[in-house]
Amino acid sequence: MDPSLTDSWRALQGHAASFDDLDLRRLFDDDPGRVDRMTLTVADLTVDLSKHRVSAAVLDDLIALANEVGLADRFAAMIAGERINSTEDRAVLHTALRAPVGSEVLEDGENVVPAVHEVLSRMGAFADRVRSGDWVGATGAPIETVINIGIGGSDLGPVMAYEALAAFRHERIRCRFVSNVDGSDLIAAVGDLDPATTLFVISSKTFTTQETLTNARSARAWLTASLGADAVATHFVAVSTNAAEVAAFGIDTDNMFGFWDWVGGRYSMDSAIGLSLMIAIGPDAFDEMLAGFRAVDKHMAATPIAENAPALLGLIEVWYRTFCDLPSRAVLPYSRALHRFPAYLQQLDMESNGKRVRIDGEPVNYETGPVIWGEPGTNGQHSFHQLLHQGSTVIPADFIVFGAPDHAEFEGADTHHDLLVANCFAQSQALAFGRTAEEVAETEADPLLVSHRTFPGNRPSTTIMAPALTPSVLGQLVALYEHQVFTQGVVWGLNSFDQWGVELGKVLASAIVGELTNTDTPDLRHDASTNALIERYRSMRGR
């Protein structure tokens, strides 16, 4: 379906023509009930949408657009196990990863929930053994460091959640994460470690991912150089669906934790891909995180669009990206623990909806897929916030903040946290309402500085608040954004669950690596630039 042919799309184009006239000061002045009406609650999250440049008429037409493209039906089809990933002929059932025991989610007529909980149970038993010290390495020493080797969704989710839930980690065990095939990444991870107390979790669905397997083989060489080849059995486990390749690597398939082709990498942190996280925070905290995911899943499935937080977030992003031509969105967590959250959302959003053709194969004739970027507050205030406030491009922002500090036992924690939150609220206020030239002139004596100290305001933002960053709240946040991205994809008519754009580079790299290493002069048949780069590299390496 081409969404641009709907009546609501044409209405929104009309609203966008007068976007510059949507003034936040006036919207607030004209509507005393705006904050109450545009503040939504989902589980522990409070989502304030009032500082967005949307009028009641714009919201009404966005909701109408969601209805015209069948958003609710599309979500129902996804959670029911229909093969909505049509280009790969797969169901999309990441919501089944957090389904409760006893529930039913069918994929090709089979209930997948028992298999999900069988894997979770095995993960929990393994995590408990590592945490208790019952699982020991080749020398009989307990594990002190877990190194997760993966890339993309097999890295970004676990490392983000591990950092976010630092306050809940095991007191003895620490995790490190290796994703980059640049050898310095692995060297930095293992450089100061004792192989006897190190456990590697190799995370790759197919167990053929080039970067991950290159790192895994080097990790194996590092370990066996000290402990011998037999040590692989107690120092390596796998998260994969490919038992043959896992066994060929030397890992006992009894120590393999599986998942399914209906789980996309960027939606997999609550599957076996989260094994390193479960070891760090424990099975009970992991279950709390799953419950947080589940609470937002229920909200998305059961709440009318006019009150549905992730759906409205997605619709507002469509408004900005497609109708108002705003190319990016900043994600600004006012929490050091969420410092990897913007990077996690980059993959979730940009890999899902960075598409130029609709699900029916036809090219889109409208903008899709914002650029997602960000940095924790207050660091960003002293770097890129200048552009947010006074730059020539309007960039919507998401502020994320918590009522309690992450480490309440820290002396002076309340003082630090009060200042952090004050900065968060001040930034969203300044972006929205700015400071007029007349207001500046009241205190600035030099008329030449008035324009420099004027803030245009009218810069939109969302503020998401929760009482504290707990495992449950983290699950809620991730699910909130998952369903926002889903909403955007449905409205744009995209398949948000394939990633063909990743494939071409992999294919070309596989060919080029042989040409870089060949002892004979290769017959290069690339473009002139790539041929020259290969020749220059070979010369640098003395080949």
Catalytic site positions: 351, 382, 506
CA 133 to the chain's CA centroid? 32
Q: Which residues of 213-224 are buried (b: 16+ CB within 10 A; e: fewer)?
A: bebbebbbebbb
Tell me the three-class secondary structure of 122-184, residue by residue. Answer: HHHHHHHHHHHCCCECCCCCECCEEEEECCCHHHHHHHHHHHHCHHHCCCCCEEEEECCCCHH
CB 251 within 8 A of CB 237: yes
The identity of residue 86, as a single letter, is S
Cα–Cα distance between 523 and 531 in angstroms, integer?
10
**Terminal-residue alpha carbon distance, the chain:** 54
Tell me the three-class secondary structure of 181-202, residue by residue. Answer: CCHHHHHHHHCCCCHHHEEEEE
Cα–Cα distance between 423 and 420 in angstroms, integer?
5
Residue with tokens 């657009």: 65
Residue 462 per-residue DSSP state: E
Tokens describing residue 345: 């959302």
Helix (H, G, I), strand (E, B) or coil at 90: strand
Cα–Cα distance between 273 and 68 in angstroms, integer?
36
Residues 6+ apart with CB under 8 A from 385: 427
Tokens describing residue 70: 């069948």
Residue 63 per-residue DSSP state: H
Question: CA dihedral in degrees (3, 372, 271, 71; nearest 10)?
Answer: -20
| Residue whose C-alpha is closest to residue 210's, from 251, 245, 234, 175 | 245
